[in-house]
Copies of this chain bind each other. A is one copy, B any other.
Amino acid sequence: MLKRYLLAPGPTTVPSEVLLSMAAPIIHHRSPDFIPVLDSAKKGLQWLYQTKNDVLILSSSGTGGMVGAVNNFFNKGDRVLVINGGKFGERWTKICQAYGLKVEEIIVEWGYTVKPEIVKERLKKNQGIKGVFVQASETSTGVYHDIKTLASIIKEYGDTLFIVDAISALVAHDLRTDVWGIDIMVGGSQKGLMLPPGIAFVSVSEKAWAKEKTSKLPKFYFNFKKERENLARNQTNFTSPVTLIIGLNESLKMLKDEGLKNVFKRHHKLADATRKAVQALGLELYSKESPSNSVTAIMTPTGIDGQEVYKNLRKKYGITAAGGQDKARGKIFRIAHLGYTDKFDIIIAIAGIEMVLKEMGFKIKLGTGVAVAQELLMASEDI
C-alpha cells in the first residue's frame, strides 16, 4: 500500500466533507431546489472575493473564465498590456491574440515579479491601453505580483480595465477586489477552494460592465451579460454544474468557519515554513522575490533533474507535487500549500523531499528541513 498525498498546485485535495456533499442525489438546476444553492454560492463567493460586484459562475475550467474576461470586454484591435512572467502570463497573451486584440507585453524574467513603475511608465507614454492583464500568483514560477500597487496605478487611467487571473491565488492571498479596484478577477474551483475541477468564477466591476456594452467580439458560451441576468435570479445561463456548486457551498462553509484572516494567515505560515525548510537544505527558491503563498517553486541542485524529483516523490513516496513547465522544466519542482493543507502536509512534503534528494545523491542531513518547518509551525498557536 502506497498512501497518496496530493500537493500539486491544482487540483488540490478535496476534503471528504465536500466529496460527500457532491454524492447527494442530483437536483434540477431550473427547479426551486436550486435557487437557495446558487444564492448561497453567489454570496459566499462575494465574501471570498471581498466584493459587492457580481461573481459569475461558469461551467468550465479556469481558462474559460480567462477567455470570458477577454471576449466580453474588448474589441478587435484594442490595445492591451499583458504582464507576462510565466506560462500563465503567456496564456493571457494567447487568448487576447486569439480574439484579435493588439497585445503589448511586459516580459518579466521567470522567477521575478513585475516592477510596478514599469507598468506606470508604459501606461503613461502609451495612452489608450484598454486593459492590463496579470496573474496574482504565477503558478509556473511561484511568484506573487503586487496586485494592490498595480491596481492603484491602473486606477489613474480611467478607461483602462485591470484584469487579474487569481485562479491559484484566491484563498491563499488577501485580494481586496473592491478596496483595491480590481475590475475583473478570475478564479477556479480546483485550487484554494478545495473542489474538483469544473467551475470558473469571474468578478466584474461596474466599470467593466460599462465596457461590456461596447464589446462586439463573438460570444455565446461565455456571454457575461446573460450570465449576469441569470445570476440575478440565482440561475446560470446554461445547465449549471449542480454538484460542483453544492460542493462549493460546503467548501465556502469550511472557509467561513475558519475566517478569512485566518485562512490567509494559514497559507502564509505554511508557505513560509516550506520556503525556509527547503532553504535550510541548501536549496534555492526559483522565485527570487515575492514568493507566492500558493506554491513554492524550488530549484534542483546542479546535476539533479527536477522532473526526476517529481517522479520519485510520486513513485517512491506517493506524493503528487509538480515538476517545472516549459523553460523551467527539469530545473525546478514545485510544492503547493493551497486549500485543504495544514501543518503536517508541509512536514510530509519536506520529509519526502529530503528522502528523495538524499537517494538521488544530494548531500543532506535527514530531518534538517523538517526541524525548521516544525519550529515555524509550532511557534505560534494562531493557526
Contact = CB atoms under 8 A, between A and B. Distances in A.
A64 interface: yes
A226 B196 CA distance: 23
A54 to B, nearest CB: 19
Name A's interface SS.
loop
A20 B25 CA distance: 11
A265 interface: no
B244 A198 contact: yes
Contact of A14 (B25, B29, B221): B25
A167 B100 CA distance: 32
**Which one of A32, A62, A196 has the highest number of Cβ atoms from chain B below 10 Å of its Cβ?**
A196
B29 A6 contact: no
Interface stretch (A106-114, A153-161, A235-243, A277-285): A235-243
Interface in A194-209: 196-198
A209 to B, nearest CB: 20
Interface stretch (A91-99, A288-296, A361-369): A91-99
A320 interface: yes
B11 A25 contact: no
B10 A239 contact: yes
A61 B59 contact: yes
Interface stretch (A40-48, A120-128, A212-220, A352-360): A212-220
A303 B240 CA distance: 33
A25 B10 contact: no
Given A19-B23, A59-B64, A98-B219, A197 B242 contact: yes
A31 B63 contact: no
A304 to B, nearest CB: 21
A241 B197 contact: yes
Contacts of A59: 59-61, 64, 197-198
B196 A11 contact: no
Contact of A28 (B11, B29, B242): B11
Given A8-B31, A13-B26, 13 more contacts: A6-B27, A11-B239, A22-B243, A23-B23, A28-B320, A29-B197, A32-B314, A59-B64, A63-B220, A63-B221, A100-B218, A217-B218, A221-B221
26 contacts: A6-B26, A8-B28, A11-B26, A11-B242, A12-B26, A14-B25, A14-B26, A16-B23, A19-B22, A20-B23, A28-B320, A31-B314, A59-B61, A60-B64, A61-B238, A62-B239, A63-B220, A64-B221, A67-B221, A71-B218, A95-B220, A99-B220, A196-B241, A196-B244, A198-B198, A198-B241
